[in-house]
Chain A
Amino acid sequence: MSFKKCRDLILGIVMLAFSVFYLVFSQQIKTRPKLTPAYASAQIMPKLLGILLAVLSVICIIQGIRRLKSADSEQEAENAAKGDKTAVLLTFAVIIGYVLAMNAAGFILSTVIYLFLQMLILAPADKRNYLLFAIVAVVFTAIVFVAFRIGLQQLLPRGVIESLLGF
């Protein structure tokens, strides 16, 4: 069964689970019954929202099941364009790596490496111009660093290169 076909069903189930989770935790919000009456307490809106989302999830599940049964969904699933999963996963990986590395490696080093890798991931195979990407990565990082750190006095994570440059 393809993802596209049972998408609404999955969405409904996930949202139903989320609304239950949300309702359980909204029950635990501390209230001050002596100061604010129950109809205006900190719990009231979360509870309403949790119930509303649960109702919507059930509708979504019903719609999802109907869609599974209908014949055209087969067609629809086949027509769905296949996304580039590798590129998405790699993008996630470099983005997370970039953000985690920034505090230790500093803004300049992590940004240059991130830009270079991300361009490699996104560029079509025949357009991979290593030299161009390296130049863009270095020049763009330099411009941004000068503009924000020097021009706007904005603090940026410091690392080896920053301390060598004296920032």
Chain B
Amino acid sequence: MSTLQLIGGGFATVLTPTGIFLMLVGVAVGIVFGALPGLSATMAIALFLPVTYAMTSSNAMTLLMALFIGAISGGLISAILLHIPGTPSSVATCFDGHPMVRKGQAAKALGVGVVFSFLGTIFSTVLLMFIAPQIARVAINFGNYEFFSIAIFSLTMIATLSSGNMVKGVMAGVIGFMFSTVGTDAIEGTARFTFGLTSLKGGFDMLAVMVGLFAVGEIIAAAETSRHSDEVVTQPSMKGIRGFGFTMKEFCSQGLNAVRSALIGMGIGILPGIGGGTSNMMAYTVAKNSDKHAKELGPLGTGRIDGVVASETANNATIGGAMVPLLTLGIPGDTTTAMLLGALTLHGLTPGPLLFQNQADIVYGIFAAMLIASVIMLFMEFFGLRVFVKLLSIPKYILLPCVFVLCVIGAYALKNNMSQVIACLIFGALGFAFKKLEIPSTPFILGFILGPLAEINYRRGMIKTKGSFMPFLTSPISAVFLAIAVIVLLLYITKPLRGKRKAAD
């Protein structure tokens, strides 16, 4: 089948009455989750997973992609109007977005944010549609050596980049890996760390672990501050917000900035370990450093559309980027894509190069859903802004208990008994402890997910080579990934030393 036929097929799968309805719901709920500080894209997907259990896999993925896109974009509403980023992905949107509101340009800031969120998503999705099949074509030849090295590379990147403290980052990754070894061994079939418990034979469920660590841990952590927070959500004035609020000339002047930010967002999305939370900051910094109009218009940070454009284009472009390793290799780069991996597995799909061969309809359905969901997002954020702003005033002490109840249902539905709910609580407590000890939980989750991939491929590879590690180093692709992992680690370890030398000079 030609690519065009596949794309057409994708649209046909998604553009059914059910599909369109699911996308409308998904985008709307996603925007709310993105806009509300404390709720994230990861949580939105976690809470909606139980809803998808009974759906067909293409409908399920349609809904989840719509949630993802809505949630990453929704953060701009609170970032601009309240000066509180709704998600880490829209931190840099505050820098210029809020000053614009103070200058009386709320409509313009929101209009620019919405339009460039849309363009960022479309840009990265189109790029994804061209890149992913090519990578899948190469990756189909990957064997144990390559997959082991890619897993190790991803783990190293995540452990070092996603936290300020490398020891704690690596530690979190190792502990996550350790939790993944519980259960029946995939190669020898013997029980590992089950302590005689039948319920541990299958290991810990990926979704129970994630919902516990992220949602439940978050709720317990919120209890610490909730009673004494003087966080008053003021209703911003919505008077005079009409149209997109910017001229064609202003739009065109952002061309270079937008393309550059989209490429930064896409690139960061592809790399494991750094996601939307980093890409918006990086695009903003690049935009600020290469700014040529600082003299006549004032530097970035004083309320220029350039800042909003950079941040919002980049964070939405990260979505398309993050989907590349997830779909082509089955490797999630951050917690949101880890959640999507869980969803795919739940529906009996294994992301990786084979997915493109055997289930191309699902893959192209996902692409089509991403494109249509971003159009829906554009219109919804444009016409429904008032409703979303109203929802921002729901206090946390009402919202979080309701979220917890949904988490419990989701965990219960995994096995239709309480075992996963209890697991979820245990991981919730762990998530809270991690927060208190300043251990990042992202490396833990990815260690838990990528660990088995690394282990199985290592052991199968070693059996094949009769105990020699050399083929892992002589396979070119495997060698490159291992080399990058080692270099990243060395750079991190020697960082304090180099810093000292610089200070001595």
Minimal beta-carbon separation of A39 from chain B (angstroms):
5
Interface: B397 (CB within 8 A): yes
Within 8 A of A (CB), among B182-196: 185, 187-188, 190-193
CB contact between B178 and one of A53, A88, A157 (< 8 Å): that residue: A53
Minimal beta-carbon separation of B104 from chain A (angstroms):
32
Instruction: Give A30 to B192 CA distance when docked, in angstroms.
Output: 8
- Is there contact, CB below 8 Å, between B178 and A46? yes
- For B466, what are the chain A residues with a Cβ–Cβ distance below 8 Å? 37
- Is there contact, CB below 8 Å, between B395 and A123? yes
- Is there contact, CB below 8 Å, between A144 and B223? no
- For A57, what are the chain B residues with a Cβ–Cβ distance below 8 Å? 171
- Is there contact, CB below 8 Å, between B400 and A122? yes
Interface: A165 (CB within 8 A): no
Interface: B219 (CB within 8 A): yes
User: Which secondary structure characterizes the binding site on chain B?
Assistant: helix
* A83 touching B225 in the complex, CB below 8 Å, given contacts A114-B401, A114-B405: yes
CB contact between A60 and one of B167, B416, B467 (< 8 Å): that residue: B167
User: Residue among A31, A35, A124 with the most chain B CB within 10 A?
Assistant: A124
CB contact between B409 and one of A37, A87, A144 (< 8 Å): that residue: A144
Instruction: Give A87 to B439 CA distance when docked, in angstroms.
Output: 22
Q: Mark A15-27, 1 if CB is under 8 A from B, else 0.
A: 1000000100110
* A88 touching B220 in the complex, CB below 8 Å, given contacts A45-B455, A123-B397: yes
- Is there contact, CB below 8 Å, between A42 and B54? no
Minimal beta-carbon separation of B173 from chain A (angstroms):
10
- For B296, what are the chain A residues with a Cβ–Cβ distance below 8 Å? none
Minimal beta-carbon separation of A40 from chain B (angstroms):
4
Interface: B53 (CB within 8 A): yes
Instruction: Give A59 to B165 CA distance when docked, in angstroms.
Output: 12
In the complex formed, the residue of A with least CB distance to B432 is A88
Interface: B252 (CB within 8 A): no
Interface: A68 (CB within 8 A): no
Minimal beta-carbon separation of A29 from chain B (angstroms):
5
Q: Mark B288-304, 1 if CB is under 8 A from A, else 0.
A: 00000000000000000
- Is there contact, CB below 8 Å, between B175 and A35? no
- Is there contact, CB below 8 Å, between B178 and A22? yes
Q: Mark A31-74, 1 if CB is under 8 A from B, else 0.
A: 11001110111101110011011001101100100000000000
Interface: B488 (CB within 8 A): no
- For A42, what are the chain B residues with a Cβ–Cβ distance below 8 Å? 185, 187-188, 190, 192
- For B416, what are the chain A residues with a Cβ–Cβ distance below 8 Å? 155
Interface: B177 (CB within 8 A): yes
In the complex formed, the residue of A with least CB distance to B413 is A154
Minimal beta-carbon separation of A150 from chain B (angstroms):
13
* A56 touching B170 in the complex, CB below 8 Å, given contacts A30-B191, A49-B181, A84-B223: yes
Minimal beta-carbon separation of B294 from chain A (angstroms):
35
User: Residue among A26, A91, A114, A133 with the most chain B CB within 10 A?
Assistant: A91
- Is there contact, CB below 8 Å, between B227 and A125? yes
- Is there contact, CB below 8 Å, between A123 and B227? yes
- For B439, what are the chain A residues with a Cβ–Cβ distance below 8 Å? 11
Interface: A153 (CB within 8 A): yes
- For B224, what are the chain A residues with a Cβ–Cβ distance below 8 Å? 83-85, 87-88
In the complex formed, the residue of A with least CB distance to B181 is A46
- For A46, what are the chain B residues with a Cβ–Cβ distance below 8 Å? 178, 181, 192-193
Interface: B168 (CB within 8 A): yes
Interface size on B, residues (CB 8 A): 65
- Is there contact, CB below 8 Å, between B405 and A111? yes
Minimal beta-carbon separation of B423 from chain A (angstroms):
11
Q: Which of B347-355, B359-367, B457-465 sits within the interface?
A: B457-465
- Is there contact, CB below 8 Å, between A124 and B401? no
- For B409, what are the chain A residues with a Cβ–Cβ distance below 8 Å? 144, 148, 154, 156
In the complex formed, the residue of A with least CB distance to B406 is A144
Interface: B393 (CB within 8 A): no
- Is there contact, CB below 8 Å, between B174 and A52? yes
- For B181, what are the chain A residues with a Cβ–Cβ distance below 8 Å? 45-46, 49
* A91 touching B418 in the complex, CB below 8 Å, given contacts A45-B459, A49-B178, A84-B227: no
Q: Mark B151-171, 1 if CB is under 8 A from A, else 0.
A: 000000000000000011011
- Is there contact, CB below 8 Å, between B50 and A29? no
User: Residue among B168, B188, B398, B401 with the most chain A CB within 10 A?
Assistant: B401
Instruction: Give A98 to B409 CA distance when docked, in angstroms.
Output: 12
Minimal beta-carbon separation of B140 from chain A (angstroms):
25
* A157 touching B462 in the complex, CB below 8 Å, given contacts A122-B223, A140-B405: no
- For B5, what are the chain A residues with a Cβ–Cβ distance below 8 Å? none
* A154 touching B425 in the complex, CB below 8 Å, given contacts A30-B191, A95-B404, A144-B409: no
Instruction: Give A154 to B55 CA distance when docked, in angstroms.
Output: 12
Instruction: Give A128 to B54 CA distance when docked, in angstroms.
Output: 39
- For B396, what are the chain A residues with a Cβ–Cβ distance below 8 Å? 122
Minimal beta-carbon separation of A167 from chain B (angstroms):
14
Interface: B497 (CB within 8 A): no
Interface: A109 (CB within 8 A): no
- For B413, what are the chain A residues with a Cβ–Cβ distance below 8 Å? 148, 154-155
CB contact between B188 and one of A15, A32, A88, A102 (< 8 Å): that residue: A32
Instruction: Give A56 to B101 CA distance when docked, in angstroms.
Output: 48
- 16 pairs across A/B with beta carbons < 8 Å? A11-B437, A37-B466, A42-B190, A44-B459, A45-B458, A84-B227, A91-B219, A91-B220, A92-B220, A95-B404, A99-B425, A103-B418, A114-B405, A115-B402, A118-B400, A144-B405
Interface residues of A (CB under 8 A from B): 7, 11, 15, 22, 25-26, 29-32, 35-37, 39-42, 44-46, 49-50, 52-53, 56-57, 59-60, 63, 83-85, 87-88, 90-92, 95-96, 98-99, 102-103, 111, 114-115, 118-119, 121-125, 127, 133, 136, 140-141, 144, 148, 152-157
List the 7 closest A-B pairs by CB distance, nearest first.
A122-B397, A83-B224, A118-B401, A40-B459, A42-B185, A91-B223, A123-B397
Given A36-B187, A156-B412, 16 new contacts (CB under 8 A): A7-B438, A46-B178, A50-B178, A83-B225, A84-B225, A84-B227, A88-B223, A90-B223, A95-B216, A99-B421, A115-B405, A122-B397, A125-B227, A127-B395, A148-B413, A152-B50
